[in-house]
Amino acid sequence: MAVIIGVRGPSGSGKTTLIERLIRRLKQRGFSVGVVKHAHDGFQLDRRGKDSWRMWEAGAQVVVAAAPQELFLRQRHPAASLRAALALLPKTLDCIFVEGFARSRQAEKPVVQAVVDVRPTQNLAALEAAVVNLLTRRRSRKR
């Protein structure tokens, strides 16, 4: 079961930078990592006019675009929540970072096992080391 780590802080504080660094470092150590990003203003990953966009605009409940090395899944969900997003991720992940959800009811406390608060003046290297140590200790206990 994955360790779910919430990463929160004000805009521009370095949350995404920290997660990027952690993903790279953890991948180097053999961990599998997933991310759930809260998009409170919505988002648009697909491109207007492309086939998958046209199918979505026509009203498909789910559109999956499959390429040789990746999948893109877009699903209509009446109450998109952290739990719903986590349910879509593979069960084989070692770690899942959750960015956002801090100010909504979707920050479901039983789901997130650790929270990293990022501040603009904070040393990201220290936060990075703490998370890597947490996951390394957990992996050692499993063996």
Domain residue extents for the chain: 3-41+79-142
Phi first, then psi, for residue 128 (nearest 5°) are -60, -45
Q: Which residues pair with 36 in a beta bridge?
A: 98
pLDDT of residue 46: 77
Each residue's pLDDT tens digit, 77-99 = 877 788 888 888 999 999 999 98
Highest mean pLDDT among 34-43, 53-62, 113-122, 132-141: 53-62
Nearest to 34 by CA among 72, 91, 79, 103: 91
The CATH number of domain 3-41+79-142, selected from 3.10.129.10, 3.40.50.10470, 3.40.50.300, 3.40.50.620: 3.40.50.300
Residue 2 to residues 9, 34, 75, 94, 132, Cα–Cα distance (Å): 22, 9, 23, 4, 14
Return mean pLDDT, the chain. 82
Tell me if the pTM is above 0.85: no
Q: Do the beta carbons of residue 107 and residue 83 sit within 8 Å?
A: no
Distance, CA of 31 to chain centre: 15
